[in-house]
Amino acid sequence: MKPDPSLDRYVRQILLSEVGLEGQKKIRQSKILIIGAGGLGSSAAFYLAAAGVGHIGIADPDIVEISNLNRQILHLPGRIGGPKAESAKLTLNRFNPDIIITPYPVKLTSPEQFHTLIPEYDLILDCSDNYETRYTINEACIRLQKSWIYGAVSEFEGQVMTIIPGLTPCFRCLYPAARSVSKNPAAVMGVTPGLIGTLQAAEALKFILNQGKLLTGRLLFVDLLEMRFDIMTTSKNKDCPACRHLD
Ligand SMILES: [Zn+2]
């Protein structure tokens, strides 16, 4: 951890009864791993860096492409062709030099990779864009008893849920098999991941502070075209192949 910076930067949140100096210390001591430096990861990482999260890991194997820039606000035109994880570190450290950013410019595919990385962090944010990665995160987090926050977007719609292994339904309880939710999976309005990533950051800060009511056992659906926010209660699947052994 870097030496304590001036607290002036955080004074407006320290004024909150839910934060205060103790809460700010918790935020500063927290370590959060963001998997994906795309649209979701951009807004989540910006707001966690703004809040003063002391250590943010950010994993992404991809390079910056021009078509990313309608939504991936961590990256700049001059970074096209370079690794997203390194671009994220440059931007976040410029925005908040008081915190540590660790980039992982690699594809996390094997459970072993997750098992090495995840124990170093207090909380995982799924800012990926595919079921394969989410199932791997789900299984690794169950095995390591690590909490994580699922986020997904498509077109003008998004979802968020917080998963605490052993206590709440897991991702496979919710989605036993991968499914396509969109006829046009590459299409997305940039504000959609901007908002969903921000909601993931809000959940992360509540988790770190132990404040408020988390989206545990509750799946938030957002539809920006209709401007609807709906919450669906979810429950554990007693036959879930991923988490049934925890009961
Ligand atoms: Zn489950």
Task: Judge contact between 161 and 185, C-beta under 8 A.
Answer: no
Give the pLDDT confidence of 73-105 residue by residue, as tens digits.
Answer: 999 999 999 999 999 999 999 999 999 999 999
* C-alpha–C-alpha distance, residues 200 and 213, integer Å: 13
Q: How many residues does the chain have?
A: 247
Residue 193 lies in a domain: yes
Structural domain span for residue 57: 8-246
- The answer to whether the beta carbons of residues 88 and 63 sit under 8 Å apart is no
Give the Å distance between the CA of 168 and the centre of ligand 1: 8
CB 129 within 8 Å of CB 146: no
Q: What is the DSSP letter of 92?
A: H
Write the DSSP symbol of residue 32.
E
Is the residue at 173 inside a domain?
A: yes
* More confident call, 46 vs 181: 46
Q: What's the CATH code of the domain at 241?
A: 3.40.50.720
Q: Smallest Cα–Cα separation from 204: which of 6, 40, 20, 65?
A: 40
Using the mean position of ligand 1's atoms as its centre, give its distance from the Cα of residue 230 in Å: 22
Helix, strand, coil shares of the chain, percent, nearest 5, are: 40, 20, 40
Separation of alpha carbons 105 and 102, rounded Å: 10
Distance 197 CA to ligand 1 centre (A): 23
Compute the distance from residue 108 Cα to the ligand 1 centre, in Å.
Answer: 22
Structural domain includes residue 1 = no
The conformational region for residue 184 under phi > 0 = left, psi -120 to 50 = alpha, else beta, is beta
pLDDT digits (tens, 9 = 90+) for 210-223: 999 999 999 999 99
- Lowest-confidence range among 8-12, 100-104, 176-180, 234-238? 176-180
**DSSP string over 193-226:** HHHHHHHHHHHHHHHHHT-S---BTEEEEEETTT
What is the per-residue pLDDT for 245? 87
- Which distant-in-sequence residues (6+ apart) come within 8 Å of 208 by Cβ? 26, 27, 30, 32, 53, 122, 123
Do the beta carbons of residue 234 and residue 173 sit within 8 Å?
yes
Instruction: Report the chain's terminal Cα–Cα distance, integer Å.
Output: 37
Percent of the chain at pLDDT > 90 equals 89
Distance of CA 243 from the midpoint of ligand 1 (Å): 4
The closest alpha carbon to 150, from 128, 117, 118, belongs to 128
Query: What is the CA(112)–ligand 1 centre distance, in A?
Result: 20
pLDDT of residue 3: 62
Q: Which residues surround ligand 1, an ion (CB under 5 A)?
A: 170, 172-173, 240, 242-243
Average pLDDT over residues 238-242: 95
127 CA to centre of ligand 1 in angstroms: 20
Residue 2 in any domain: the answer is: no
Number of domains in the chain: 1
pLDDT, tens digit (0-9, with 9 covering 90-100), for 102-152: 999 998 888 888 889 999 999 999 999 999 999 999 999 999 999 999 999
- Do the domain assignments include residue 166? yes
DSSP track, 162-199:
EE-TTTS--HHHH-SS-----SSTT-B-THHHHHHHHH
pLDDT at position 5: 67
19 in a domain, yes or no?
Answer: yes
Ligand 1 centroid – CA 134 distance (Å): 13
What gap in Å lies between CA 45 and CA 22, rounded to an integer?
22
Tell me what pLDDT residue 182 has.
72
